[in-house]
Structure 1
């Protein structure tokens, strides 16, 4: 079967003044995979991730998403194309319930238009019922039924991460970018979170691109794993292969990139 890339990073570089954060970097994320991106602090992985997510524009190079050149597009434009991102710190609407948070996600709802509410109230009500039904399905999938009517601001860190994962299920996401999903999550809820990511991937066909410091989580979820150091991609493989490679370990502890090559 031919390799089907949903994300292609082509010779991308990013410079901040005199700092070369990413240098001539290329990688691919295969459709249907859970692909990890790791590297030591200062490796450039967060900068690269932010360029894919639309937060930074590359200094040079191209980013292709589902066959379309998205270089320089903003996050809200990528959202409409089917690229969603979760954050290290969850971005919930704290004064709305968990269920209401999910119902806020789909765009262009008829109820957002005053004229539709006035002249086509049935259309707005039908769409709201459809969105609510989907949100309840997501709540059930994530096993969050016991907190669906709880204000999102009162949820635990792990529950907020699950809710944020649920928001990606409210639209037809072609890829979900997971940014430090383990941060601030206790081990029990982290196991639930990982299990749901696996289910979304295997049962629903979601593609994930993951940046993460928790190597045990990366080892559980990701294959392949891409390694960056000093602004460049230096290796790709499963976690078992990478852990057995002394040159990768050396790179993590400050060894020269030349040694890895």
Structure 2
């Protein structure tokens, strides 16, 4: 495998608070890589740097062999680098199906096309709807496709957010605490869908997660972040047995 994402000696501070400190990681193409660490380790900030939400103070970020350090999030989205959020960001007053249909750019957004190319607009809308129906079936939400997204459970919203990544040509998906607020049954659905997207469609995942059972099921390798830097990388078993990792999580009194 080759690295699809490379973070090279990146640092980021907010005022006097250094959040990311000379951090370097690689995410191999086709992997499901875990990113763990104690609260305040800088995991979400690192995600935001990779996704283009923030620019690093120093260092560089590379995607598919290209320097993307100064490229904003909306442009990276169209290059197939997407992220989800710990709190799902659905359009609550639209149906689940409509939420999926909102993701791809559409010809109907242009007034010119609406007036002078209505047949093209209708044809594309039909294609987008067909794809949305396929996606909502894939993630197991077909039974609530017409339900307002705001009425879905926390787990269903996470499944919907995963489905939104399928509405574009996703290559890398950054999953931020996708297990948070999800019941165990729907969590297994999420895990299966992530594994299927990885094996059947070639998605690469970088996963921030506190649920170690989920990390153990999904991720290899696992990267441990502490105080904004990489502490170690390895299998989940190696990490769970490492004394320095245990101390970082639980302090000097850990046994």
TM superposition score category, shorter chain reference:
over 0.9
Q: Which residue of 1 aligns with 2:144?
A: 147
Deviation, 1:237, is: 0.8
Kept after mapping to 1: 8 A contact 2:10/2:20: yes
User: 2:117 matched to 1:120?
Assistant: yes
The answer on 1:191 being equivalent to 2:162 is no
1:229 matched to which residue of 2? 226
SS of residue matched to 1:57: coil
Q: Which residue of 1 is the match for residue 5 of structure 2?
A: 7
Aligned position for 1:254: 251
Instruction: Supply the distance in 2 between the matched residues of 1:59 and 1:123 (Cα, whole angstroms).
Output: 45
**SS of equivalent residue, structure 2 residue 247:** helix
By how many angstroms is 1:254 displaced?
3.4
Aligned residue in 1 for 2:52? 54
Q: Distance in 1 between matches of 2:163 and 2:60?
A: 30
Cα drift, residue 188 of structure 1: 1.0
| Structure 1 Cα separation of the partners of residues 117 and 15 of structure 2 | 53
Specify every segment of 5 or more residues in structure 1 that has no aligned partner in the other structure, as ranges.
256-261
Distance in 1 (alpha carbons) for counterparts of 2:40 and 2:110: 46
Deviation track 1:137-177 (CA, whole Å, cap 9, x = no partner) reads 10111121100111111111100100000000000011001
Any conservation in 1 of the 2:90–2:150 contact (CA below 8 Å)? yes
Residue 170 of structure 2 corresponds to which residue in structure 1? 173
SS of residue in 2 equivalent to 1:91: coil
Query: What corresponds to 2:34 in structure 1?
Result: 36
- What secondary structure sits across from 2:77 in the alignment? helix
For residues 124 and 136 of structure 2, the distance between their equivalents in structure 1, rounded to whole angstroms, comes to: 18
Per-residue deviation, residues 33-66 of structure 1 (Å, max 9, x unmatched) = 1111001112122211111111221110000011
Using the TM superposition, give the Cα deviation of residue 253 of structure 1 relative to its aligned residue in structure 2, in angstroms.
2.1
In structure 2, C-alpha distance between the alignment counterparts of 1:208 and 1:68, rounded to whole Å: 18
| Structure 1 residues 159-199: Cα deviation after superposition (integer angstroms, max 9, x where no partner) | 01000000000000110010110111111111111111111
Query: 4+ residue stretches of structure 1 with deviation over 3 A?
Result: none
Match of 1:172, SS state, is: coil
Q: Which runs of 5+ in 2 are unaligned?
A: none
Residue 258 of structure 1 is matched in structure 2 by none
Partner of 1:21: 19
TM-score relative to the length of structure 1: 0.94
What's the CA shift for 1:72? Answer: 2.9
Q: Does 1:83 align with 2:69?
A: no
Q: Distance in 1 between matches of 2:216 and 2:47?
A: 19
The aligned residue for residue 240 of structure 2 is 243
Question: Is the 8 Å Cα contact of residues 171 and 202 (structure 2) preserved in structure 1?
Answer: no
* Alignment partners' CA distance in 2, 1:116 and 1:231: 48
